[in-house]
Structure 1
Amino acid sequence: MNRTDLTAVVADATGLTTHQAAEAVAATLAGIARGMAEEGSVALPGFGTFERRARAARTGRNPQTGEPIEIAASVAPAFKPAAALRRQVAAGRPAEN
């Protein structure tokens, strides 16, 4: 499923037009990104938690030459699914609304 497919699902489920659903999806994703940037995490009970995770500096290897290179510390987005979501995915069934 891609963003267009998700927009169509939201439009069907809510009765919104495709344009309105696209705006809703965009606003939701922007809100999650802003929450992660400002607060560090966004928790959606029953779905999961989007969070920032710090990655320590480390030494890696250049795959072409094999020489060691220093990889700088960084912060990366991460997602931890809720137990209910893990069960639904494992069972191959959609979320219950």
Structure 2
Amino acid sequence: MNKTQLIAEMAKHSELTKKDSQAALTSIQKVITKSLSEGDQVQINGFGTFALSYYPARTGRNPQTGETIEIEGANKAVFKPAKALKDRL
């Protein structure tokens, strides 16, 4: 499912128009992004938790040359589904 399909489904399952559904989705994306960039996690009961996870620096290889390279550590966004969501799947 892509963003356009998600917006259409949101509109179908709510009393919102597609335009209002798009605005709601955009707003949710901005709030989650802002919270994660500030180091906070976002927990939605019954759905799951969005959080940052730090992946430390590591040694890798350039597949074209075989040369050893150092890959920098980075924060990555992760999603952990809630038990209720896992049970429904």
Q: TM-score, normalised by structure 1?
A: 0.85
Q: Does the CA-based 8 Å contact 2:60-2:70 persist in structure 1?
A: yes
For residues 30 and 87 of structure 2, what CA distance do their matches in structure 1 show? 27
Greater relative contact order, per chain length (Cα 8 Å cut-off, separation 6+): 2
The aligned counterpart of 1:59 is 59
User: What is the correspondence of 1:1-97 to structure 2 with a 5 Å cutoff?
Assistant: 1-89=1-89
The one-letter code of the counterpart of 2:5 is: D
Deviation at 1:40, TM superposition (A): 2.5
Task: Show structure 1 runs of 5+ residues with no match.
Answer: 90-97
Shift of 1:2: 1.0
C-alpha distance in 1 between matches for 2:6 and 2:29: 12
How many equivalent residue pairs? Answer: 89
* Structure 2: gaps of 5 or more residues: none
Give the alignment's Cα RMSD to 1 decimal.
1.1
Superposition misfits of 4+ residues, deviation over 4 angstroms? none
Contact 2:59 2:70 in 1 (8 A): yes
Percent same amino acid at aligned positions?
Answer: 42
- Conserved 8 A contact 2:53-2:75: yes
TM-superposition CA deviations, 1:2-51 (whole Å, max 9, x none): 11111111111221111111101111111111111114210111111100
| TM-score with structure 2 setting the length | 0.92
